Amino acid sequence: QLRNPNEEEFQQAVKEVLDSLVPVLVKNPIYIKQAVLERIIEPERLISFRVPWVNDNGNIKVNRGYRVQFNSAIGPYKGGLRFHPSVNTSIIKFLGFEQIFKNSLTGQPIGGGKGGSDFDPKGKSDMEIMRFCQSFMTELSRHIGPDIDVPAGDIGVGAREIGYMFGQYKKLKGAYEAGVLTGKGIGYGGSLIRKEATGYGLVYFVDEMLKAQGLSMNGSTVVVSGSGNVSIYAMEKAIQFGAKVVACSDSSGYVYDPNGINLDTVKRLKEVENKRMFEYVKEHPDAIYQEGCSGIWAVPCDIALPCATQNEINKEAAEMLVSNGVKAVGEGANMPSTQEAIDSFMDHHVLFAPAKAANAGGVAVSALEMAQNSARLAWTQEEVDRKLRDIMKDIYSKSMKASEDYDAPGNLVVGANIAGFVKVADAMIAQGVI
Ligand code: NDP
């Protein structure tokens, strides 16, 4: 806290991990002797830079860009870029810190990183987005590379932004280094299933968790917050698994559709027309739109999948979900539940799938995209989807096993933190004090 004042989100993420690691430290004092905790919570590098760009009216605007290169013990830094006005050092560091353990859990050789900008893409023209992305990459390019640091998308950064940044990187380097970014378009080095991977992976993970308790996604009622990349493909897979998704949201409000959310409408509104969720009710008269996004947690459901942003489920929202009989919560977003919300789920024996484990499918398929780029070939949709499913099953088993080995059976928060930590910590020790 002393070293990172005013970095609330970062402190929250660190505290959650450190709390779970106590039994590991007791069993393995080498981690204390080698100061692994002190080292792992300090980023290897934090870069902050100016991003000047010109808007459509010819005015010069200035935003701030960031990249945190947190830990490279098991591979090149890997993690998304977020463009949102709320982005600051604390947000980037919390995301980068979580990414270390998530990436380790995937079993792929990738370290932890994250980046972004306080740029707000809302209301910007396509040309403004392009000029911003080009300026952002002009600086970022000197810090990244296929064996150094490989960014991808996150909130506000999708295939369009990745395309503009990839084009600028290629121009600056004078070389076609396909593996420098992931989430690329399929026609120029992207991987099939990358777009779907975080949402699909989340549902694969939750399905494993339910099955272990003799429960099933089939026939369940599901609420998914957000209506972006993660939400849309979590809804798609949940529906394929026989669930009825009754609500989703954006940052202005949420839609409840008693007939089940029509995903074709959501995809068209969000992926094609760039419209707001309130437009949904114009086409589906039985559906209701409510201003404000937190009310979505009052909609009764069996399974809640928060897929929008950090701290979107607080204590009150968690208690509402519990009182309405929620059976399972799967975190698609990063750190969407506050600590008090997690405590409430645990106290009421709600099955809880933490983000680090449950949303790791996106970065896992990003690592598969890097592998395809290195090999200069492209796998089929079925092949990538099968690998994704296997990886999510493996993360579930690893996290469960660690929870059992360290006397917290079934606690996936503890299990995921420990399983992710041990591999990185051992690699740090093996590589000496650097
Ligand atoms: P998108 O930008 O595609 O979608 C974000 C969605 O969440 C939108 O519906 C957006 O609404 C809503 N949202 C964003 N900020 C807020 C806010 N402050 N309050 C309420 N709603 C908000 O992002 P992604 O789907 O890619 O990311 C969603 C979450 O998943 C993030 O936490 C991200 O870190 C995490 N994640 C993403 C991965 C990926 O592969 N994309 C991988 C792993 C985790 P609006 O359109 O109104 O802004």
332 lines ligand 1 (CB under 6 A): yes
Contact in structure between 399 and 416 (CB atoms under 8 Å): yes
Max Cα-Cα span within the chain: 64
N-term to C-term CA, the chain: 23
182 lines ligand 1 (CB under 6 A): no
The strand pairing partners of 62, in sequence order, are 52
The answer to the question of whether 102 is labelled as a binding residue is yes
Q: Which two tokens stand for residue 176?
A: 């076609």
Distance, CA of 245 to CA of 241 (rounded, Å) = 11
Fold match flag (41-191 vs 195-349) = yes
Pairing of strands 221-224, 303-305: parallel
Contact in structure between 261 and 231 (CB atoms under 8 Å): no
Distance, CA of 152 to CA of 162 (rounded, Å) = 7
Residue 367 CA, distance from chain mean position: 14
- pLDDT for 252-292, tens place per residue? 999 999 999 999 999 999 999 999 999 999 999 999 999 99
CA of 296 to the centre of ligand 1 (A): 15
Q: Which amino acid is at 99?
A: Q
Residue 378 region by backbone torsions, left for phi larger than 0, else alpha for psi between -120 and 50, else beta: beta
228 lines ligand 1 (CB under 6 A): yes
pLDDT of residue 155: 98
Q: Considering 27, 61, 114, 270, which one is annotated as catalytic? A: 114
pLDDT of residue 434: 86
- pLDDT for 384-419, tens place per residue? 999 999 999 999 999 999 999 999 999 999 999 999
Residues in the chain: 434
Contact in structure between 208 and 389 (CB atoms under 8 Å): no
- pLDDT for 221-239, tens place per residue? 999 999 999 999 999 999 9
The contacts of residue 402 (CB under 8 Å, 6+ apart) are 414, 415, 416, 418, 419, 422
Handedness of CA 377, 383, 385, 390 (dihedral sign): negative
Question: Comparing C-alpha atoms, which of 220, 216, 198, 200 is closest to residue 208?
Answer: 216
307 lines ligand 1 (CB under 6 A): yes
Contact in structure between 153 and 80 (CB atoms under 8 Å): yes
Contact in structure between 359 and 101 (CB atoms under 8 Å): no
198 lines ligand 1 (CB under 6 A): yes
Instruction: Report the complex ipTM.
Output: 0.99
pLDDT of residue 225: 98
Best residue among 105, 124, 155 to mutate for probing ligand 1, ranked by most atoms within 8 Å of CB: 155
pLDDT category at 19 given cuts 50, 70, 90 is very high
Looking at domain 41-191, which of 3.40.50.10860, 1.20.810.10, 3.10.20.90, 3.40.50.300 is its CATH number?
3.40.50.10860
pLDDT of residue 373: 98
CATH of domain 195-349: 3.40.50.720
The contacts of residue 400 (CB under 8 Å, 6+ apart) are 212, 410, 412, 415
CA of 2 to the centre of ligand 1 (A): 30
CA angle at 149 for the pair 148 and 151, rounded to the nearest 5°: 155
Domain ranges of the chain: 41-191, 195-349
Distance, CA of 98 to CA of 262 (rounded, Å) = 33
If you take atom 2 of ligand 1, which residue's CA is the nearest one?
155
Catalytic residue flag (residue 114) = yes
The answer to the question of whether 78 is labelled as a binding residue is yes
Distance, CA of 248 to CA of 176 (rounded, Å) = 39
If you take atom 4 of ligand 1, which residue's CA is the nearest one?
228
If you take atom 33 of ligand 1, which residue's CA is the nearest one?
333
Question: Comparing C-alpha atoms, which of 54, 42, 50 is closest to residue 117?
Answer: 50
CA of 308 to the centre of ligand 1 (A): 4
If you take atom 36 of ligand 1, which residue's CA is the nearest one?
333
234 lines ligand 1 (CB under 6 A): no
- pLDDT for 294-343, tens place per residue? 999 999 999 999 999 999 999 999 999 999 999 999 999 999 999 999 99
pLDDT category at 1 given cuts 50, 70, 90 is low
CA of 203 to the centre of ligand 1 (A): 17
359 lines ligand 1 (CB under 6 A): yes
pLDDT category at 5 given cuts 50, 70, 90 is confident
pTM equals: 0.98
